[in-house]
Chain A
Amino acid sequence: MKFKIILTILLVNFYSCVLSDEIINENKIHKNLRCLVCQGQSISDSNSDFAITLKIVVKDLIEQGKTEDEIYNFLSEKYGDWILYKPKLNVVNFLLWFLPYFVLLLGGLIVFFIVRKNVKKT
């Protein structure tokens, strides 16, 4: 019981200090943008002309008060979804986002049933 109390206190503390932290992170955006003229690099990793320009534009957009998603939408409208390293959740990409969790769930069920079947037997 003592452990549980300590545990809850610690967890509560830890979450409260974490949730207060919500700022727009420029570098995170850079890491999600593909440098189109490079080979498999994000603009964060690249120093090409294109990457430099895009970094300036991202900075401007942030200063204009655009949110992360608005920036991604603006850029994917111009360059296509190819520019985003994290695919948007939409009809086309639904399976990409959904299938891993489906497999996780299904696998969990299979393991559960195999184990339970044998518990009954013994």
Chain B
Amino acid sequence: MQKIIKITTSIFFIFILVVFYISLNNTSDYDTENLVGIKLEKIKLESFENKKYLTNENLKKNNFTLINFWASWCAPCRVEHPFLMELSQEKNLKILGVNFKDKRNNALNFLDNLGNPYHYLAKDDQGKQSIGFGIYGIPESILIDKDFIVIKKFVGPLNLEDLNEIKKITNLL
């Protein structure tokens, strides 16, 4: 009996200390990786140009769609913009821009000055739709495939590495 208690106690402490050691080398930062692999079934976004809605119906013929959340007031969005311009040339990829909590005129100016990489443009005035996409700060981008399954999520501005990765994924087809 005593022996069992001794062994379990020792194992218990060793277990705790080992887990502490493992977690030292982990980052405790939050990410939204869990959205990857999930199907975005009910996409419904207000169009930027008119009163209509953008839904899964509009996107279903695309091989890949990159949903990009942006705003004219967001400084990092300017940083990633050249990469989006480059991606807009990709043949297997269409880009859906969601203008986030922005003023219409500012958004239009932004696109006039820096170019418009978006094949579709939607708006989310109050930011409510973005919650359905698991967005918590812009810029964020979500890459989905033909079946609306999330392949990858990019939090923060896209960089060169992300650009190449997206190109690689879309060109595999």
Contact = CB atoms under 8 A, between A and B. Distances in A.
Determine whether A and B are in direct contact in the complex, meaning some CB atoms lie less than 8 angstroms apart: yes
Interface of A: 36-37, 49-50, 52-54, 56-57, 60, 75, 77-80, 82
Given A57-B131, A60-B128, A78-B132, A50 B137 contact: yes
A57 B128 contact: yes
Main secondary structure of the interface of B (DSSP, over half): loop
B136 interface: yes
Nearest to A61: B131
Interface of B: 30, 32-35, 38, 101, 126-128, 130-134, 136-137
B131 A80 contact: no
Contacts of A80: 32-34
A54 B134 CA distance: 11
B70 to A, nearest CB: 14
Give me the 3 closest cross-chain CB pairs, A-B, nearest first: A78-B134, A53-B127, A80-B34
30 contacts: A37-B137, A49-B101, A49-B137, A50-B137, A52-B127, A53-B101, A53-B126, A53-B127, A53-B128, A53-B130, A53-B131, A54-B131, A56-B126, A56-B127, A56-B128, A57-B128, A57-B131, A60-B128, A75-B131, A77-B38, A78-B32, A78-B35, A78-B131, A78-B132, A78-B133, A78-B134, A79-B34, A80-B32, A80-B33, A82-B30
Given A36-B30, A49-B101, A79 B128 contact: no
A42 to B, nearest CB: 14
Main secondary structure of the interface of A (DSSP, over half): helix
Contacts of B32: 78-80
Contacts, number: 39
Contacts of A37: 136-137
Contacts of B137: 37, 49-50
Nearest to B128: A57
A27 to B, nearest CB: 19
A96 to B, nearest CB: 15
A9 B128 CA distance: 50
Given A37-B136, A79-B134, A49 B127 contact: yes
Most buried by B among A54, A56, A57, A82: A57
Nearest to A54: B131
Contact of B136 (A52, A57, A79): A79
